[in-house]
Amino acid sequence: MRMNFGLTFRAANGCWKVNLSQRCSRGRIGLFVPPSPPVDAEKLQELQRFVTLSKRVLVMTGAGISTESGIPDYRSEKVGLYARTDRRPIQHRDFVRSAAVRQRYWARNFVGWPQFSSHQPNPAHWALSNWEKRGKLYWLVTQNVDALHTKAGSRRLTELHGCMHRVLCLDCGEQTPRGVLQARFAALNPTWSAEAHGLAPDGDVFLTEEQVRSFQVPSCARCGGRLKPDVVFFGDAVNRDTVDFVHRRVKEADSLLVVGSSLQVYSGYRFILTAQEKKLPIAILNIGPTRSDHLACLKLDSRCGELLPLIDPH
Ligand SMILES: [Zn+2]
């Protein structure tokens, strides 16, 4: 299937007339992207206008931007993890209180890590990184913990829910790279092996109880304390300083663009409310309805990686 539409854009080389021709290959990107209508040329122009008129865009991204990199989200209809399995994310309280819960979590995470950590940014991540280089992006806030924005080179970035690529000691607060912990896992479990049976957005996989019981979990090398990925689990709160920082960034911005989030989680939704109070124009790019569609001046249902590279951040 091929679609063509001609639009006038200023390309990087200074030419103005660009005939955009996109090959639409449903299914090539994979299992985790919900079906979406083809890019609507009129809405694309509206988004271009939205971006052009903004001098300080704040972009907030969610799981929907990473599905095109092969990472499933939790909530998408039919293809999200909630729809495909009966697995639910780990609860913060259970992790902190129970050594058995931590053992199960880390065993699964150990198996899933090589695949989870190898995911690469897709054209949507690269586009936003380019917006930053071109001075268009005021700040980027992500709800994702996959480090794909960092891998794409974004620096004006707040990871609202932390990052799976760091490990935090719950007892002394030391942060260490996740890769270092992987080597410690391997050294402690030389004969342990398990097959991954499906990857969750947080790098979790599915294992049997026997596999879990024999897995050895190291403790903090500095204090012997409990290790946790440096991410906000369900049931935990986002750090207050981080929330205040993002609120300030939203107030300083002149528009807000949501990319790939249904905004169901309050930790992200509250910034939409701040933007609304400030009367900032809000645009939403997400396949499927969101909690804030009624607050947006523009809503697009296209794939992030298909649409964002078409926008010129001039
Ligand atoms: Zn420690």
Q: Where on the phi/psi map is residue 164: left (φ > 0), alpha (ψ -120 to 50), or beta?
A: alpha
Instruction: For the chain, give the percent of residues with pLDDT over 90.
Output: 67
Is-catalytic flag, 294? Answer: no
Give the per-residue pLDDT at 23.
32
CA dist., res. 306 & res. 54, Å (int): 21
Query: Catalytic: which of 92, 161, 165, 294?
Result: 161
pLDDT exceeds 90 at position 85: no
Give the per-residue pLDDT at 217.
97
Cα of 132 vs centre of ligand 1, distance in Å, is: 36
In the structure, what pLDDT confidence band is assigned to residue 192 with cuts at 50, 70 and 90?
A: confident
Q: Is 81 annotated as a binding residue?
A: yes
**Strand, coil or helix: 271:** helix
Q: 25-34, 41-50, 302-311: lowest mean pLDDT where? A: 25-34
The token pair that represents 25 in the structure block: 């290959």
The token pair that represents 43 in the structure block: 């809405």
End-to-end Cα separation, the chain, in angstroms: 31
Cα of 1 vs centre of ligand 1, distance in Å, is: 55
* pTM to 2 decimal places: 0.83
The token pair that represents 236 in the structure block: 């935990």
Q: What is the 3-class SS of 42-61, one letter each residue?
A: HHHHHHHHHHHHCCCEEEEE
CA dist., res. 242 & res. 268, Å (int): 12
Please, what are the domains in the chain? 41-310 (3.40.50.1220)
Q: Is 36 annotated as a binding residue?
A: no
Cα of 236 vs centre of ligand 1, distance in Å, is: 20
Give the per-residue pLDDT at 83.
53
Cα of 175 vs centre of ligand 1, distance in Å, is: 9
Q: CA–CA distance from 306 to each of 35, 39, 51, 65, 235 (Å)?
A: 13, 8, 16, 11, 34
- Residues 240-260 have pLDDT tens digits of 999 999 999 999 999 999 999
- Residues 205-221 have pLDDT tens digits of 667 788 889 999 999 99
Rg of the chain on CA atoms, in Å = 21
Cα of 170 vs centre of ligand 1, distance in Å, is: 7
Q: Is the dihedral of CA 119, 169, 162, 97 positive or negative?
A: positive
The answer for residues whose C-beta is within 8 angstroms of residue 164's C-beta and 6 or more apart is 116, 117, 145, 146, 147, 178, 202, 203, 229, 230, 231
CA dist., res. 133 & res. 126, Å (int): 11
- Residues 32-67 have pLDDT tens digits of 788 888 888 999 999 999 999 999 999 999 999 999
Q: Is 74 annotated as a binding residue?
A: yes
Cα of 11 vs centre of ligand 1, distance in Å, is: 51
Residue 91: DSSP 8-state: B
Residue 293: DSSP 8-state: G
Q: Is 73 annotated as a binding residue?
A: yes
Instruction: Spell out which residues have Cβ within 5 A of ligand 1, the ion.
Output: 169, 171-172, 174, 220, 222-223, 225
Q: Is 65 annotated as a binding residue?
A: yes
Compute the average pLDDT of residues 181-193: 91
Compute the average pLDDT of residues 173-184: 97
Q: 80-84, 116-120, 164-168, 282-286: lowest mean pLDDT where? A: 80-84
Q: Is 282 annotated as a binding residue?
A: no
Cα of 267 vs centre of ligand 1, distance in Å, is: 27
Q: Is 63 annotated as a binding residue?
A: yes
